[in-house]
Structure 1
Amino acid sequence: MGHETAADVLTLGETMVALRGSGPLKLGGSMEVSVAGAESNVAIGLARLGHAARWAGAVGDDEAGELVLRTLRAEGVDVSGATRDPDAPTGLILFEPRLPEVTRVHYYRAGSAGSRLTATAVEDAFASPAAPRVLHLTGITPALGPSALAACRRGLELAREHGTTVCLDVNFRSRLWSAEESAAVMRSWMPYVDVLIASDDELPLCVPESKNTSGEASALAEELRAQGVGEVVVKLGADGATTYDADGELYAPARPVRAVDAVGAGDAFVAGYLSALLDGEDLAGRLDRAVTTGAFAVASHGDWEGAPTRAELGLLGAGPGTVVR
């Protein structure tokens, strides 16, 4: 696959075929077919906001992999850094709604193509006309296996070599690895990270236990900043978000919306934050766009389908029942 244009943001990870059921899985019924993956959700969110986003991941040499690549291409994401693995399948994720507020998730991704992403593939994705302005990683990819972990590590090294800003969303998944395993990797990555995004319960995974005395987000953020992390962004869900940087801390409440589906909200938040960062917005502007794009995700079904375009960012300011002509 040839490289075309330099990326504003390069991200890498596993994107799976997503099947969403209408009810309990054991009862059968119909399922909607889409794709899902934290990193590709961010890439789509950025592309809709007008940024050049590149996704580097591995899919199987199968029809499921073709669906992943086709969907990302259709959303304007550069997949020239993607690879097809002839010896492993594209991963699968099933969403099973059980209660109005509860959806169970079932993964079929062990041994998948995405878990076998290589460091060489990441090197190829960096070898574009110019290095990406931002490398975005999550704590999901290194949990997939040794190869994916090595690929992420190579990405961090290349970002340092090229002066690329590194954004890390901790995104801890207990179904993939233990808190101890995650902490060992996250703490080793901190010297490379410029922008850290985490929920308040994920912050301790990034700070050595000896430095985690109070457990308070502000104290943990201060310790991370002392380690060289430029910005620490703490996601508080329905309560909004707080960012800590050299100028202190800044809080932004969540935008009030009718919650439909919280899946993908964190990825949409990241896309909004990085979009405003790329645009040169100040801290308040970055937080504002992040809570706005996060609200769009909460108010829409699916992982990425509700991500707004730049022209739609102002829609949440319209009153209830507004008809936009």
Structure 2
Amino acid sequence: MRTVDQGVTAAMTGRVGDDAAGRFVLGALAERGVDVSHCVTDPRPTAMTVVLADGTDRAILTSPGCLPYPTAGDVPRGLARHVHVSSYFLQPGLAAGLPALLAELRAAGATTSLDTNDDPAGGWDGLADVLAATDVFLPNAGEARAIAARLSGARDGPLEAVDTVGAGDSFDAGYLAARLRGMSRRECLDVAVACGSLSTRAAGGTAAQPAWKEL
């Protein structure tokens, strides 16, 4: 790998088609010092994405081509000290083996990061095991809300907020109360989110704050 301007080296693994688009992608990356020797040329066409933007409104249209077909076996071991994964929901072949792959990479001393990007199906499924093996999670605000709702089961019974005054204070109080009880960080966050959410059931900052027994 060649050193890029920022003083770090970078490599990419993935699949492109044996077509003009694939050759363009590999060439553009190589010109910028990215090692593309681990990319696979697939008999299917290169994936193509068009972004349609109108002010703050944006739509992304993707022709998947060979994008769904990379697998954990395509990823070289021992190559990098950090491995980043993106477009999780558009790569089901990779997603199926990703928890084990990330765990293996971490056990070998590498750090990991994940940007799921959007889920076109809207299900946001299969992330619990992947996130457990991810050091750095990088969603945008909409993705974070959707994933948090999916993992917490909030879609099964979403809370209708009456008044959000004091919700942040209730969140803080719940987190600290759980921490002082010796609970794990995940458990503290679960309690904090419950406290902040339940406090919005009534007007005013304190009228609907839950007691520990209710939690």
TM-score by length of 1: 0.43
Quick one: distance in 2 between partners of 1:75 and 1:151? Answer: 30
Q: Is the 8 A contact 2:99 2:133 kept in 1?
A: no
Q: Quick one: which amino acid aligns to residue 188 of structure 1?
A: D
Say whether 1:153 aligns with 2:153: no
Quick one: distance in 2 between partners of 1:189 and 1:56? Answer: 19
Q: Is the 8 A contact 1:187 1:206 kept in 2?
A: no
Map 1:304-323; keep pairs closer than 5 Å: none
Say whether 1:137 aligns with 2:80: no
Unmatched segments (≥5 aa) in structure 1: 8-46, 229-325
Please point out which of 118, 126, 135 is paired with 2:77. Answer: 126
Map 1:13-32; keep pairs closer than 5 Å: none
Please point out which of 170, 191, 202 is paired with 2:132. Answer: 191
Say whether 1:49 aligns with 2:2: no
Shift of 1:152: 3.0
Shift of 1:102: 4.2
Decide which structure has the larger Cα Rg and report it. Answer: 2
CA RMSD of aligned residues (A): 3.6
Q: Quick one: which amino acid aligns to residue 199 of structure 1?
A: N
Quick one: distance in 2 between partners of 1:104 and 1:199? Answer: 15
Q: Quick one: which amino acid aligns to residue 77 of structure 2?
A: F
Map 1:48-197; keep pairs closer than 5 Å: 48-86=5-43, 88-97=44-53, 99-109=54-64, 112-122=65-75, 125-128=76-79, 132-138=80-86, 140-141=87-88, 143-171=89-117, 173-174=118-119, 176-178=120-122, 180=123, 182=124, 184-197=125-138
User: Taking CA–CA contacts closer than 8 Å with sequence separation of 6 or more, which of the two structures ends up with the larger relative contact order?
Assistant: 1
Secondary structure in 1 matching 2:12: strand
Shift of 1:76: 1.1
Give the direction of change, closer, same or farther, for the CA distance of 1:154–1:191 in structure 2 (3 Å limit): closer
Quick one: distance in 2 between partners of 1:167 and 1:152? Answer: 12
Secondary structure in 1 matching 2:96: helix
Residue by residue, what CA displacement relative to the aligned partner does 1:177-227 show, whole Å, maximum 9, x if unpaired?
22x3x2x322222221222222344334147316999998996xx79x824
Q: Is the 8 A contact 2:11 2:36 kept in 1?
A: yes
Q: How many residues align?
A: 166
Quick one: distance in 2 between partners of 1:102 and 1:201? Answer: 14
Q: Is the 8 A contact 2:9 2:34 kept in 1?
A: yes
Shift of 1:69: 0.4
Q: Quick one: which amino acid aligns to residue 198 of structure 1?
A: P
Q: Which has the higher strand share?
A: 1
Aligned equivalent of 1:290: none
Quick one: distance in 1 between partners of 2:66 and 2:14? Answer: 9
Percent identical pairs in the alignment equals: 23
Q: Is the 8 A contact 1:190 1:206 kept in 2?
A: no
Residue by residue, what CA displacement relative to the aligned partner does 1:121-165 show, whole Å, maximum 9, x if unpaired?
11xx2243xxx2211123x23x12431213533431322221211
Aligned equivalent of 2:203: none
Quick one: distance in 2 between partners of 1:67 and 1:226? Answer: 46
Q: Is the 8 A contact 2:49 2:60 kept in 1?
A: yes
Q: Is the 8 A contact 1:170 1:186 kept in 2?
A: no
Q: Is the 8 A contact 1:52 1:77 kept in 2?
A: yes
Q: Quick one: which amino acid aligns to residue 65 of structure 1?
A: G
Unmatched segments (≥5 aa) in structure 2: 162-166, 179-183, 188-215
Secondary structure in 2 matching 1:137: strand
Q: Quick one: which amino acid aligns to residue 131 of structure 2?
A: M
